[in-house]
Amino acid sequence: MLDSADFSLLGSTDPALNRVLSSIASICADIKDRIAGAAHVGELGLAGQDNVQGEAQKALDVIANDLFVESLLAHPDVAGLASEEMDDALWAEHDGGELLVVFDPLDGSSNIDVNVSVGSIFSILRVPANSTHDAAAFLQRGRDQLAAGYAVYGPATQLVLSTGSGTVGFSWHTGQQKFAPVTSQYRLSQAANEYAINASNQRYWDAPIQQYIADCNLGETGPRGKNFNMRWVASMVAEIHRILTRGGVFLYPHDSRMPEGHGKLRLLYEANPMAMLIEQAGGDSSTGIQKIMDIEPTALHQRVPVITGACEEVTKVESMYRQGS
Residue (124 or 243) nearer to ligand P6P, CB: 243
Minimum distance between the CB of residue 148 and ligand P6P, rounded to whole angstroms? Answer: 15
Region class of 86: left (phi > 0), else alpha (psi between -120 and 50), else beta: beta
Question: Crossing angle for the helix pair 207-218 and 311-323, nearest 10 degrees?
Answer: 130
Binding marks (x or -) toward ligand P6P, 160..199, rule CB under 6 A? --------------------------------------x-
265-266 and 249-252: which strand pairing? unpaired
Residue (27 or 112) nearer to ligand P6P, CB: 112
CB 205 within 8 A of CB 213: yes
CA dihedral 192, 198, 204, 206 (to 10 degrees): -20
Binding marks (x or -) toward ligand P6P, 92..121, rule CB under 6 A? ---------------xx-x-----------
Nearest residue (beta carbon) to ligand P6P: 236
CA distance 109 to 61: 7
Minimum distance between the CB of residue 26 and ligand P6P, rounded to whole angstroms? Answer: 23
CA distance 314 to 304: 15
Applying CB under 6 A, among 39, 199, 234, 299 the residue interacting with ligand P6P is 234
Beta bridge partners of 149: 122, 161
CB 308 within 8 A of CB 274: yes
**Residue 36 binds ligand P6P (CB under 6 A):** no
Minimum distance between the CB of residue 115 and ligand P6P, rounded to whole angstroms? Answer: 16
The angle subtended at Cα 13 by Cα 183 and Cα 69, nearest 5°, is: 80
Chain-centre distance for alpha carbon 312: 21
**Residue 235 binds ligand P6P (CB under 6 A):** yes
DSSP secondary structure letters along 265-302? EEIIIIIHHHHHHHHHTT-EEE-SSSBGGG----STT-
Binding marks (x or -) toward ligand P6P, 58..97, rule CB under 6 A? ----------------------------------------
249-252 and 46-50: which strand pairing? unpaired
Minimum distance between the CB of residue 223 and ligand P6P, rounded to whole angstroms? Answer: 27
User: What count of other Cβ atoms lies within 10 Å of the Cβ of residue 111?
Assistant: 19
Minimum distance between the CB of residue 178 and ligand P6P, rounded to whole angstroms? Answer: 27
**Residue 52 binds ligand P6P (CB under 6 A):** no
Applying CB under 6 A, among 99, 236, 249, 300 the residue interacting with ligand P6P is 236
Minimum distance between the CB of residue 108 and ligand P6P, rounded to whole angstroms? Answer: 4
Minimum distance between the CB of residue 267 and ligand P6P, rounded to whole angstroms? Answer: 12
User: What count of other Cβ atoms lies within 10 Å of the Cβ of residue 262?
Assistant: 16
| Site residues (vs ligand P6P, CB under 6 A) | 107-108, 110, 198, 234-236, 252, 264-265
